[in-house]
Amino acid sequence: MYKTFKIQIKKIICTVMILMLLFAAIPLTAYAAPNPLSITVNQIFTTSTSAVNGTFTYRLKALDTKNPMPLGSTSEGYIFTINKTNSVDIDSIYFSKAGKYIYELSQVITKAKSGYGYDTNVYTLEVYVDADLDVILIILNKDGKKVEEITFENQYSFDLIVDPLVRKIVKGNPPSPGVFTFKLTAHDIDNPMPEGSANGVKTIQVTGEGEGDFMDIHYDRLGVFSYSIFEVDTGITGYTYDTTVYTLTDTIAEDENGILTVVRKITDSNNNEINEMVFINTYTESGGGTHEGGGKDGGEGKESPITGDEMRAQLYKNLLIGGSIIAVSAIVYLIVGGKRRKSAKK
């Protein structure tokens, strides 16, 4: 019986020790508060392409080093990430005593990636814990205004700057600068186009020599996009127009960091690769006619070449004058001749 009693005592002791070990293994913070703090962070990531990396990093930081922090925090704070448009719940924070606790939540931007727009808002989290360890959370945005939720809005866009796109050179000595017209036309109607385009066509003008700017093309997806660029022969008298048709091809690809890159290729009418698009027009005075902008000193331009209708009118006028001279001469001859005959009879 004594031996049986000793065995039961050992069982009880072992059971108590096991229970103590289990109790020790459970974090005391689990029993610290009936209502631990739970924080939800929302991210909105706007882009029209799925190719780019939409993962962003955030940090929850305690303004007092004694403030409780979520499990997994370090001296830098609690670091977490959110991918694309999504929401993340931060691991719960447990409080063991009443008081006011302040935290800051912001996005970590170690190095801004090209094309990305980051939300720089810094939220202040004021946590009030009462005597019963119930938790009240107040969220303030960077302007100090109370808000209902934490939301960061990030964007991605890729802008290709095409300024300047064409260059005009004029040879000769025109009486005044001409106005030259250029067009950019998309080979596919769905290609991205600069602002001010219509139905895949953008038209610009350059006065005299100088550079023309079709404005920015905004790329936001992968692909190969090609365009034709040429000068419109508007028929300004005296000018010989450059008939070169350039092909501009932009290849949009993704690099190892998920950032869109562009490779540009420009070729001329002979498929020769070139660095810039130059149009050369030649002015010669033998072309005659009135040039756009008027002649020298703002006066009239040179006389226009005679047209077919004008030539016929001039011929008719010359015949009329010649006929009139012949008729007058005949009348004079008849009058003078008549007088002489009368004198001879007498």
The tally of CA atoms less than 13 A away on the side-chain side of residue 256 is: 0
The pLDDT, as a whole number, for residue 137 is 97
Tell me which of 221 and 342 has the higher pLDDT.
221
Mean pLDDT confidence for 5-31: 55
Confidence of residue 219 (pLDDT cuts 50, 70, 90): confident
pTM of the model: 0.49
**CATH number corresponding to 160-295:** 2.60.40.3050
Rg (CA), the chain: 44
Half-sphere CA count of 276, side-chain side, radius 13 A:
13
pLDDT(283) > 90:
yes
**Is the CB of residue 124 less than 8 Å from the CB of residue 101?**
no
Q: Residue 253 has what pLDDT?
A: 84
Torsion of CA 231, 232, 237, 242, to 10 degrees: 30
DSSP string, 139-175: EE-TTS-EESSEEEEEEE-EEE---S-EEEEEES--S
Q: How confident is the model at residue 129 (pLDDT cuts 50, 70, 90)?
A: very high
Q: Is a pLDDT exceeding 60 seen at residue 261? A: yes
Q: Domain boundaries in the chain?
A: 32-156, 160-295
CATH 2.60.40.3050 assigned to domain 32-156? The reply is yes
Q: List, as one string, the DSSP characters of 102-144.
A: EEEEEEE-SSPPTTEE----EEEEEEEE-TT--EEEEEE-TTS
C-alpha distances (whole Å) from 11 to each of 5, 6, 16, 311 are 10, 9, 9, 132
Extract the tokens encoding 125: 């989290």
Q: In terms of Cα–Cα distance, which of 97, 35, 38, 33 is closest to 67? A: 97
Tell me what percent of the residues of the chain surpass a pLDDT of 90.
58
Average pLDDT over the chain reads 81
pLDDT tens profile 71-101: 999 999 999 999 999 999 999 999 999 999 9
pLDDT at 310: 47
Distance set, CA 200 to CA 195, 234, 304 (Å): 11, 21, 38
Strand-strand pairing, 158-160 and 37-46: unpaired
What per-residue confidence (pLDDT) applies to 53? 78
> 163 or 110, which is more confident?
110
Query: Of 128-137, 156-165, 247-256, 257-266, which gets the smallest average pLDDT?
Result: 156-165
User: What sign has the CA pseudo-torsion 63, 69, 75, 77?
Assistant: negative
